[in-house]
Amino acid sequence: MARKRFHQLKKVKFRATWNKYNLYNLSRLSMPRTQSLTFYQQKWKAKSITRAYHGEQIREKQWQRMFTPRLNAVVPMDHRYLAEFDGSELAAGRGSGLEKPFDAEKTKRKQAIPYMHQTYAPIERRLDMAIWRALFASSARQARQFVVHGKVKVNGEKMIYPGYLLNPGDLFQVEPEAVLFATGAPKDGPQLRVGRRVLRVRRNRNVGMEKLRAQMAERKAAKASDKASNKDSSKALISSKTPKTLLEDHFEYRKTREADLSTMIQRAEWKQHAKSKMLSAKRKQQIRAFIRHAKSARSKVFRKPFQELEKERLAFVEEFRGSVGSNTLDKAWRQAAKKRAAENSVETEAGAAEGASEEADAPKRTKTPYGERVAEEKLVALEKRIAAMRIQGDGVDPSKPYATPWRPRDFMSAFAFIPRYLEVSPKICSAVYLRHPVARPGLTEVPTPFPGEIQQLAFNWYLRRR
């Protein structure tokens, strides 16, 4: 069952995300009241709140298998001390070091190793967690998605397993565009609108974003060269390439084909059910067959290749003529056709029912871009709009999924830190996993919002002696 709220406000649960509600929850996070709870309840509670942050995306059983009671720690050693003493001074006197006058400052400086903060250290070894810790994703779940979607490489090879346990020295790279999307501010109103328009054009032309950008750049270059060499038109012709979009593949064309077939079917059905005229049985059969063919063709109009559609079209006109007959046009139908033609000057195909006009149009259509003009107009308008945006600010690109020019998302700085077991290079969106996280005196490398007491209770829960 899908959970209702990930960042709920009623019950404070701190999650592994950069969400603003999560930040609010962090400010409200407090130690659970344990006075009235049994030890078991305390452990349960500690486990519950810590697991909401540490590897929430991992199944409990999976984490239980990862859990280890061994906690890694290091003690920094001074090489000068190692050189000057061989350790025998600690065994002098009565076996616990020579007694020295009490030095309060020295005992104060000695800090305990926060071992309990290492409880969830094995989770930090996972690839998705490392990506999130390296500030390449805005949440652990998003990092996981990046891995699953193939946007992450480990040592130069694509790695699709978010549960891959990094080994010391592993270099992981995340696709820069994904990182910019994850860490960038979202698009605002106008950019969102223009972005949607770009998306629509892309969909209509059935090309990828890269190709669309290339096309737009090409058009722009062509226009520029056109302007530059206005006197010598032949030169401009050579330099500016015609757009490569196949009008045959065009959405507009297919849409019109569908409309044609629909009108033909409608017309045939009128004929079929017309009470004024009696039809022969053979004629009725012909009409039924035509309707059947036309309907099946209409359902496939967006799937078939263009050449077939083009061939089919003439055959349908023939069949329509044979079965329904072109000389029995209704007045209403003729009016409707006229109206449509007037309405949509681009779609000159309105007279589909009229076989003669159909045939006359056919050779023309193969030459001139059919429906292409619409897209071209759209594209020109779009280019204009983008140019206008560019005047406002440099580097504006509404086709990107984030606000351009790029800026970090709100509240990112509150969550920004890079633990020491990673060496990150944000410029190339790459990082190296240096070693497993360790605890050192007074300092932990496992980023956790919970104090040692809670961690200890959680640790005790997973020791499985309840």
Partner 1 sequence: MGAYNREGQLTRVVKASREQERERNSGGGSNESTQQRQPSDPNNPDGADNPDGTKAATLPPESRRDLTPFPLDPQFISQPVLSGWFKDQIWKQVILQGLSVREVSASLGVEMSRVAAVVRLVEIEKEWKRINKPLMRQYHQAVMNMLPKTLWNPEETTEENRKKTKTHESINDLPVHVATGQQIFLPTSESRHFTRKDAARVFDAKLLPADDRVPHPELAVMHKEVLEELSDEERKARAEARDASEEQKRKVALARQAKKEASIKKVDIGRFEYRFSEIKVDDAGKDGRGLKGVGWRYGVPLMDRSRGQHKIPRAVE
Task: Considering only residues 115 through 154, tell me which ones interact with partner 1, judged by CB under 8 A.
Answer: 117, 135, 154
Q: Binding mask 30-49 vs partner 1 (x if CB under 8 A, - otherwise)?
A: xx------------------
405 binds partner 1 (CB under 8 A): yes
443 binds partner 1 (CB under 8 A): yes
In the complex, the smallest distance separating the C-beta of residue 355 from partner 1, rounded to whole angstroms, is 57
Q: Binding mask 177-216 vs partner 1 (x if CB under 8 A, - otherwise)?
A: --xx--xx--------------------------------
Closer by beta carbon to partner 1, 325 or else 426: 426
Please pick, from the candidates 77, 278, 281, 332, the single residue that binds partner 1 as defined by CB under 8 A: 77
Surface-to-core class of residue 96, CB atoms within 10 Å of its CB (0-12 exposed, 13-18 middle, 19+ buried): exposed
171 binds partner 1 (CB under 8 A): yes
Alpha carbon separation from 104 to 99, 109, 112 (Å, rounded): 14, 9, 16
Surface-to-core class of residue 270, CB atoms within 10 Å of its CB (0-12 exposed, 13-18 middle, 19+ buried): middle
434 binds partner 1 (CB under 8 A): yes
* Segment interacting with partner 1, rule: CB under 8 A, options 4-12, 163-171, 259-267, 268-276: 163-171
Decide: 171 and 214 in contact? Cβ < 8 Å: no
b/e for 341-380, b at 16 or more Cβ within 10 A? eeeeeebebbbbbbbebbeebeeebeeebbbbebbeeebe
418 binds partner 1 (CB under 8 A): yes
* Segment interacting with partner 1, rule: CB under 8 A, options 188-196, 245-253, 362-370, 437-445: 437-445
12 binds partner 1 (CB under 8 A): no
Kindly give the interhelix angle for 189-205 and 209-228, rounded to the nearest 10 degrees.
Answer: 90
Please pick, from the candidates 10, 87, 277, 331, the single residue that binds partner 1 as defined by CB under 8 A: 87
Q: Which contiguous run of DSSP H or E holds residue 36?
A: none
In the complex, the smallest distance separating the C-beta of residue 258 from partner 1, rounded to whole angstroms, is 43
Contacts with partner 1 by CB under 8 A: the residue count is 84
Report the distance separating Cα 459 and Cα 448, nearest Å. Answer: 14
In the complex, the smallest distance separating the C-beta of residue 185 from partner 1, rounded to whole angstroms, is 10
Please pick, from the candidates 79, 106, 108, 282, the single residue that binds partner 1 as defined by CB under 8 A: 79
Report the distance separating Cα 29 and Cα 450, nearest Å. Answer: 9
447 binds partner 1 (CB under 8 A): yes
Report the distance separating Cα 218 and Cα 201, nearest Å. Answer: 16
Report the distance separating Cα 465 and Cα 164, nearest Å. Answer: 29
Closer by beta carbon to partner 1, 91 or else 224: 91
